[in-house]
Amino acid sequence: MSTDTTKRSLTRTSDSAGRRPDADHPFAAPWHAAAFALVIGLHEAGLFSWQDWAAMLARTLADDQNAGQLDGSDDYYAAWLTALERLLQDKDITADSEIASVVASWRKAYLDTPHGEPVQISR
């Protein structure tokens, strides 16, 4: 699965496009906070160093066709997800097929979950 597909899947349901976070609300959408927390948690688990993360995020942002136009909302955190996928693959922690499987499982669980109920993924 391409990271473009993953980004579209995650950003499609967000209503935060174009909104910049402020000091009282640092994340414009819940998934931004989830992406941030995921990176922090994986670093704290010892899967990668901050230097590795910073280098991959910088490379991902530099590769972005919209570089210089990112507004700090969906586009910026989509770059975080792309950087995280690349870093986990580069370090042989996960494969593209595993990421695709999790995204497909999450999408199915989300669509099958009644409104207002917590989404549960069975893998």
Predicted model pTM: 0.71
pLDDT digits (tens, 9 = 90+) for 24-77: 778 888 989 999 999 999 999 999 999 999 999 999 988 877 666 666 678 888
103 backbone dihedrals φ, ψ, rounded to 5°: -60, -45
> Domain spans of the chain?
3-9+28-95
**The pLDDT value given to residue 12:** 40
Confidence of residue 85 (pLDDT cuts 50, 70, 90): very high
Inform me whether the pLDDT recorded for 11 exceeds 70: no
